[in-house]
Chain A
Amino acid sequence: AQTVTQSQPEMSVQEAETVTLSCTYDTSESDYYLFWYKQPPSRQMILVIRQEAYKQQNATENRFSVNFQKAAKSFSLKISDSQLGDAAMYFCAYRSPNSGTYKYIFGTGTRLKVLA
């Protein structure tokens, strides 16, 4: 069974600085999808970025980028030029394309605090 691990329960970053949130996963599959979601205090789940495992190029969305290391089964999220609005819980998620159900396996989350 697949598992997702987020080893940092909480992280802090100074406004305008860069922070990296870690995520590792365990799977025997070669093809899969990875996602980062942001959950602010409003508790909405907001998609930040996604990565297909067959793509070697790291995904980037504006200030958000990932470092996808397939062999190491690592999928870290880098937030550049951190803003106060980035403060939230961040969840890493894995999805197998083969399960037939599209269901996610979530990590336990990392709470990001942004210091003014």
Chain B
Amino acid sequence: GAVVSQHPSWVICKSGTSVKIECRSLDFQATTMFWYRQFPKQSLMLMATSNEGSKATYEQGVEKDKFLINHASLTLSTLTVTSAHPEDSSFYICSAQSQGQSNQPQHFGDGTRLSIL
């Protein structure tokens, strides 16, 4: 149980395009989902916390207009990297928190490797 699916796993696109990454909780309802960015050999950096039906809460230094987050349902959150540039290339990971289970861990997707040419 507690499976989180993240899609796509790898995307390569040209500079200036927008890229959407999906995060789905397959067998549970997730009131809260998290988006992380990870640079090589570094820890996970929290970008934003999204709650179903409300605006995402962004961490300090994360550009809201660059990284658009939508959490439209209890099973789906999306991250859109708008007008992507090579410096946006990174590994992005989502995770989901079960509804009403504060003592449970976050469940992670397998991540998306984003390469901007």
State whether A102 touches B102 (Cβ < 8 A): yes
Q: Is the CB of A50 within 8 A of B44?
A: no
Q: What 1/0 mask marks residues of chain A from 6 to 33 whose CB sits below 8 Å from any chain B CB?
A: 0000000000000000000000000001
Number of interface residues, chain B, beta carbon within 8 A: 21
When distances are taken between beta carbons in the complex, the residues of chain A under 8 Å from B32 are 101-102
Chain A at the B interface: SS class: loop
Which residues of A from 102 to 116 have beta carbons under 8 Å from B?
102-104, 106-109, 111
With CB as the reference atom, state the residue of chain B lying closest to A52. Answer: B103
Are A43 and B91 neighbours in the complex by a CB distance under 8 Å? yes
Partner of B110 from A33, A43, A97, A109 at Cβ < 8 Å: A43
Q: Give the docked Cα–Cα distance between A111 and B95 (Å).
A: 22
A84 lies within 8 A of chain B by Cβ: no
A35 close to B (CB within 8 Å): yes
Q: Name A's B-contacting residues (CB within 8 A).
A: 33, 35, 42-45, 47, 50, 52, 91, 97, 101-104, 106-109, 111
